Structure 1
Amino acid sequence: MRTDPAATAAALLPLVGGLANVRSVAHCMTRLRLVLADPARADATALRAVPGVLGLVVEGDSWQIVLGPGVVTRVTAAFEERVRETAAPPAPATPATGPGRSAAEELAARGAELREARRRRNATPLKTALRRVAAVFVPLIPALIGCGILAGVNGLLLNAGLLPWLTPALTAVASAFMALIAVFVGVNTAKEFGGTPVLGGAVAAIVVYPGVAKVTAFGVTLAPGQGGVLGALAAALLAAYVERWCRGRFPETLDVLLTPTVTVLVAGLATLYGLMWAAGTVSTAVGTAATWLLDTTGAFAGLVLGGLFLPLVMLGLHQALIPLHTTLIEQQGSTVLLPILAMAGAGQVGAALALYVRLRHAASLRATIRSALPAGLLGVGEPLIYGVSLPLGRPFLTACAGGAAGGAFLGFFAMLGDRVGATAIGPSGWALFPLLAGDHGWPTLLALYTGGLLTGYTVGFTATWLFGVTEEVRASATAGAATGAPLTEPDAGPPASPDDPAPAPTR
C-alpha cells in the first residue's frame, strides 16, 4: 500500500513533541532525521506504530524515523511543509511536585527521568563525535553517487573507444566535484560546529589551491590537495573554534571586519604550516593500510569486515568509515572497502528470503519482506534490518554470517591481486555495479562482485534456513512481531521497554 506523505507527516509531528520541539529536519536515503529540543516529549512507542514507519533510531536529541527509500523524501517534504504551516503549541506544564501529585503525574515524571537517563547513557563522546562527522559527509553523498556513476560510464566509453568527442566533457563533469570536495567539506564542517559556513569553505579551499605548491612546511614543499578531506575537516574545525573565540572580544563596530580576518588568517596559516602536512601523513597511512590489509590478510579481513558491518550500522559506528572511504576515493580513485562491506547487505537479503520461504504462515512478516526486498537488493538495508531480522534476533546473526562469507570471497581475490573498488559511497547491492572500479577490466569486476553477492545470498539463506528459525522466532513472526515489536537496544542487549526509546544506528 502506497504511503500518503501528508498523512504520515501529520501523524508524526505531534508524536515528536510538536513544532516547538523540532529544532531541525533533514533526511538521508531511508530516514527522516529530526533534532529535538526535548527528547522526553517524544513518544517512541506511538512513533513505531505509525503506518509506514519501519523503525526508530534514537541517539540523544537526534531521532531518526526509518521510512525507506523514496518514501522518506516525500514524507520529509510534507513534514517540512507541516512545520511551516503549524503554529507552535504552548509548552506543556511541568507536573506538580510534592505529595499532592497524582499517580498519573508520578508515572509521567518517572518516565521522563528514565528517558533522560537513557539519553545521557547513550550520548557518549564517541557516538556524538561520529554523529557530527556524519553530518559533515552525509549531505555530500548524492553528489558522490552522481559523479561516481558518470566516472564509471566515462571509463567504459574510454576503454571501448566510443564517443571520443563526449569523454572529455564527461571527465570534466565527473571530476570537478572531487577536485573541490575539500571546499564542501569545509562549508559543512563550519556549519556543524557553530562557525560561519563560508569561512569554513574559505579556509578549506587552501588545501586545493594550486598556489600552495610555493609554500614549504617542515622542509617539504606542499602539494595542492595534500591532506585531502581530512585536512579540510581539520582546517574548518579550527576556523569554527577561532571564530567562536573572536565573537564578543572585538567592539561591535569592528567585529564584522576583524572576526573573519582573524579567523581566516589564523586557521589558514595553521592549515599551511601544520594541518596539511599532518593530514597528508594520515591520509597516506589510510591508503597504505587498506592496501596492505587486503594484500596480506584479504580473506580474513573480508570475513571480519563483511561480518561486523551490520552490527556497526546498528551501533552507529559505521559513520567512522565515511571519511576513510572519501580519502581512498581521493587518493586511489576508488574505495576498496565499500564492496566488501556491501556483502553485509547480501547476507541480509539471503536471510530474508529464507524467512519468507520457511515462515509461510507469517503473513505480516512476508508482506514486510516483499515490500523491503527490492530496496535490500539495491543496497538499502534498513527496512530489512529494522522490519525483519533485528526484531527476530537470530536471523540478524545468520545475516551477518552471509555478509562474512561474501566479504571473505572478495578478500580472497584481493589477496591474488584482483581488488574490487567503488568510485563513490552510498549505494551497495545491485546499485553498486555502475560504480565498480579495478585494474583488470569490467568483465573481471563484474564476475568478482557478482560472485561475492551470490556467496552472501547463499550463505545468508542457508544459515538462516538451518539455524535462524527457532520455535521462538516462528512464534514471534507468526504473531506479527517483526513489524511492530520494539527493537533490541544495541548497547545494553535486552529489548527496550515499550515506552522507552531504543537507541540505534545512524546512517
Structure 2
Amino acid sequence: MADSYEALAKTIVEGVGGVQNVRGLTHCVTRLRFTLADPKLADTEKLQSTDGVMTVIQAGGQYQVVIGNKVTSVYDAILNQYDIKGEGEVEPDPGQNDLANADDKKDNTVSRLMGVMSSILMPTLPVLTAAGIIKGLTALFAALNVLDTTSGVYMIMYAAGDGFFYFLPIMLGYTSAKHFKCNEFLGAAIGAALVYPDMVNIASTLDVAGSLFEGTPFQMDYYNTFFGIPVIMPGSGYTSSVVPIMIAVWFASKLEHFFKKHLGEMIRDLLTPLLVLAISVPVTYLVIGPVVQGICGVIFMLISALFNAGLVGGLIGGALIGGGFGVLVMFGLHWVVISLGLSNIALAGFDYVMAAGGIGPMIGMAQGLCITLRTRSKKVRDLALPSFLSQVMGVGEPLMYSILIPLKKPYAINILGGAIGGAIIGALKGKIYVFGGSGLFGLANYVDPSGDPTNFINCCIGIAVGMVATFIIQWFAYDFEAEKRVIGE
C-alpha cells in the first residue's frame, strides 16, 4: 500500500510541474492544495486521467488535486520523497518570477482572499471539528437531562469543547503568522491579548465611560480609553472571533518585516517583537477590531433581516444557502461562508447561514444510499457505497466527484435537495450554535445550549424533508443509460 501512495505522489508532483514549481503544499480532508509558481506548467488533463485522482480544481489561488480519504497518506508520501515543506514554501529556481508571468495577476482580490482564509483556517479544521462535536454532544446530553450542568463530567467535557472556540484567536494568530511569514508566537501573543480576561470582562468590571453615535442604531458604549481614544469592545470581547486576528497578524507581519529590515543587527532581535506587540495590539483594539466587528455586525443584521422577513425571506435565504453551499465546496470556496458563520456565532451566539449550509452531507447520505440501491452497475455501486459512508462522516467530495458531477443530473438533484431542506430550515429560522461536526455528528450543532429543543426539532424537520425529497427524486429520475455511458457496468 505504501508503494502505491509513493507512486501516486510521484505522478502528482510531476503533474503539477515538478518539485521546482511547488511553492507551498497543504491538504484538507480530501484535497492536496498546491500553491504553484506557474500554474500553466501543471498538466491538468494528465492528472484528471490518473487513477486515484478524482478531479483537479483551480480556485482561491490554489491548485487543488482531489484524491479522497487517502489524502493524508499521499501528502506524507510527497513530503517524504521531495524537498517540499508542508504548510510552507520551497524556494523557486533562480531567475523564476514569483508568479511566473502577468497572466497570474488575473487572480482577483476575492479569489486571493478566499485562498488566505482557507490557508489560515485549514490547519485548525480537525481540532475545530472535534471540539465542536464534544461541545455539541455535551450540550445535547445536558438538554436531555443525561448530564447535570453542575457535574464534573459536564464541566470538564464542555471545557474540552468550548475551550478551543473561546481561545480561537490564539490558534488563528499562530496559523495566520505561518501564512504571513512572521513569528508564529507573535501571532499567538496578539491572539492572547484579544482574549485576555480583564479585557473580555471590561463591561462587567467598569462603568460606562461614554458613548459613540449616541441616539443612532449604531450607538456603542465604551468603558475605557487609550490616551483619550475610546476602547470599543464587542459584548463578549473577541473570544471565538475569526477575522480581526487575521487582519491584526497581517498588520503585525508588515511591522515585523519593516523593523527587521531597518533595525540594527545588535538590537533587532530584542526590539522587533517588542515594537510589533506594543504597536499591533493597541491598533487592533482601537481600529482593526471595531471596524471588522462593525462590518460583521452589519452583515449579521442584513442576514437576520432576510431570515426574519416573514416566511418568504427565510425560504429564499435558506434555499439559496442550502442549494448553493455544495457549489462553493466543489470549488473549495466555502471558507468565506464558514468564516462568516463563525463570526456570527461569536457576535450573537448563533448563526443562520451554516444552519442551512450544513445540511449538504445529510442530503448526500440520502442520495448515496439511493444510488447504491438503485444502480444496476457494479462499478457505480462500488463507488456509491463507500461514498455514502463518507457522507455519514461529513465528507462529500468522494460522492461529488466520482458520481454526481460525471453523471450531471444527480448533481442537479443534490443542489435541489439542499435547496428544499435549506428552505424549510430558513423558514423555521433554524440556527446552529456551534460549528463542529458534519454528517450525523453535525446534528449536535443545532442544539440550543439553553435546553430548548425547538430549534433542534425544526432543523431536523428540514433535514428530513430534504433527505426524503432527494431520495425520491433521485429514485424516479435515475438515468441508467447515463451511468452505463459515463461510468460503465
In the TM superposition, what is the alpha-carbon distance from 1:275 to its structure 2 partner? 2.0
1:132 to 77, 96, 116: 116
Deviations 1:391-415 (A, max 9, x none): 332332221111000101212222x
User: Root-mean-square deviation (CA), in Å?
Assistant: 3.5
Deviations 1:410-468 (A, max 9, x none): 12222xxxx3414224x322221233322674865554344323322232234445557
- Hey, what does 1:171 align to over in structure 2? 158
2:59–2:333 contact (8 Å) kept in structure 1? no
User: Is residue 2:90 matched to residue 1:81?
Assistant: no
- Hey, what does 2:39 align to over in structure 1? 39
- Letter paired with 2:424: F
- Hey, what does 1:505 align to over in structure 2? none
Q: Identify the range of structure 1 (188-197 vs 4-13) with the bigger mean alpha-carbon deviation.
A: 4-13
1:230–1:279 contact (8 Å) kept in structure 2? yes
In the TM superposition, what is the alpha-carbon distance from 1:360 to its structure 2 partner? 1.9
2:448–2:456 contact (8 Å) kept in structure 1? no
- Hey, what does 1:216 align to over in structure 2? 225
- Hey, what does 1:251 align to over in structure 2? 264
In the TM superposition, what is the alpha-carbon distance from 1:184 to its structure 2 partner? 1.7
Are the structure 2 counterparts of residues 198 and 440 from structure 1 closer, same or farther at C-alpha, using a change threshold of 3 Å?
Answer: closer
- Hey, what does 2:183 align to over in structure 1? 196
SS in 2 for 1:182: helix
Alignment of 1:317-356 (within 5 A): 317-353=333-369, 355-356=371-372
1:431 to 438, 441, 465: 441
| CA distance in 2 between partners of 1:453 and 1:409 (Å) | 8
Are the structure 2 counterparts of residues 177 and 348 from structure 1 closer, same or farther at C-alpha, using a change threshold of 3 Å?
Answer: closer
1:387 to 367, 385, 402: 402
User: Is residue 2:463 matched to residue 1:453?
Assistant: yes
Taking structure 1 as the reference length, what is the TM-score of the superposition? 0.77
2:147 to 151, 162, 173: 162
Are the structure 2 counterparts of residues 181 and 337 from structure 1 closer, same or farther at C-alpha, using a change threshold of 3 Å?
Answer: same
Deviations 1:7-40 (A, max 9, x none): 4324333333333333333211111222233333
Are the structure 2 counterparts of residues 308 and 85 from structure 1 closer, same or farther at C-alpha, using a change threshold of 3 Å?
Answer: closer
2:129 to 130, 134, 145: 145
Alignment of 1:69-108 (within 5 A): 69=69, 71-83=70-82
- Hey, what does 2:16 align to over in structure 1? 16
| CA distance in 2 between partners of 1:222 and 1:47 (Å) | 50
- Letter paired with 1:194: K
Alignment of 1:370-409 (within 5 A): 370-409=385-424
Are the structure 2 counterparts of residues 392 and 118 from structure 1 closer, same or farther at C-alpha, using a change threshold of 3 Å?
Answer: farther
| CA distance in 2 between partners of 1:53 and 1:350 (Å) | 25
2:407–2:486 contact (8 Å) kept in structure 1? no
SS in 1 for 2:51: coil
Deviations 1:215-265 (A, max 9, x none): 426546646724833222221121112222333222233322333233222
| CA distance in 2 between partners of 1:176 and 1:445 (Å) | 24
| CA distance in 2 between partners of 1:206 and 1:182 (Å) | 9
- Letter paired with 1:318: H
| CA distance in 2 between partners of 1:155 and 1:439 (Å) | 6
- Hey, what does 1:493 align to over in structure 2? none
2:485 to 460, 479, 482: 479
- Hey, what does 1:225 align to over in structure 2? 237
Are the structure 2 counterparts of residues 117 and 459 from structure 1 closer, same or farther at C-alpha, using a change threshold of 3 Å?
Answer: farther
In the TM superposition, what is the alpha-carbon distance from 1:211 to its structure 2 partner? 3.8
- Letter paired with 2:420: A
Are the structure 2 counterparts of residues 339 and 298 from structure 1 closer, same or farther at C-alpha, using a change threshold of 3 Å?
Answer: same
Taking structure 2 as the reference length, what is the TM-score of the superposition? 0.80
Q: Alignment identity in percent?
A: 26
SS in 2 for 1:379: coil
Deviations 1:185-206 (A, max 9, x none): 2222222123222222222332
2:374–2:475 contact (8 Å) kept in structure 1? yes
Are the structure 2 counterparts of residues 272 and 441 from structure 1 closer, same or farther at C-alpha, using a change threshold of 3 Å?
Answer: closer
SS in 2 for 1:317: coil
Deviations 1:65-94 (A, max 9, x none): 21223x2222222222222599x9x989x9
- Letter paired with 1:479: R
2:447–2:456 contact (8 Å) kept in structure 1? no
In the TM superposition, what is the alpha-carbon distance from 1:3 to its structure 2 partner? 10
| CA distance in 2 between partners of 1:200 and 1:256 (Å) | 16
| CA distance in 1 between partners of 2:398 and 2:3 (Å) | 14
- Letter paired with 2:120: V
2:352–2:432 contact (8 Å) kept in structure 1? yes
- Letter paired with 1:270: V
1:39–1:60 contact (8 Å) kept in structure 2? no
In the TM superposition, what is the alpha-carbon distance from 1:127 to its structure 2 partner? 0.7
| CA distance in 2 between partners of 1:351 and 1:305 (Å) | 19
SS in 2 for 1:398: helix
2:78–2:84 contact (8 Å) kept in structure 1? no
Are the structure 2 counterparts of residues 77 and 422 from structure 1 closer, same or farther at C-alpha, using a change threshold of 3 Å?
Answer: farther
- Letter paired with 1:204: G
- Hey, what does 1:492 align to over in structure 2? none
| CA distance in 2 between partners of 1:283 and 1:431 (Å) | 28
1:429–1:453 contact (8 Å) kept in structure 2? no
Q: Identify the range of structure 1 (30-39 vs 301-310) with the bigger mean alpha-carbon deviation.
A: 30-39
Are the structure 2 counterparts of residues 462 and 125 from structure 1 closer, same or farther at C-alpha, using a change threshold of 3 Å?
Answer: same
User: Is residue 2:275 matched to residue 1:262?
Assistant: yes
Task: State the aligned residue count.
Answer: 448
1:207 to 182, 194, 198: 194
1:203–1:264 contact (8 Å) kept in structure 2? yes
2:426 to 390, 407, 411: 411
Deviations 1:329-370 (A, max 9, x none): 323444332231123344444445555555524x43333222
2:330–2:397 contact (8 Å) kept in structure 1? no
Are the structure 2 counterparts of residues 280 and 40 from structure 1 closer, same or farther at C-alpha, using a change threshold of 3 Å?
Answer: closer
SS in 1 for 2:152: coil
2:21–2:36 contact (8 Å) kept in structure 1? yes
User: Is residue 2:375 matched to residue 1:365?
Assistant: no
- Letter paired with 2:190: V
User: Is residue 2:294 matched to residue 1:281?
Assistant: yes
In the TM superposition, what is the alpha-carbon distance from 1:303 to its structure 2 partner? 1.2
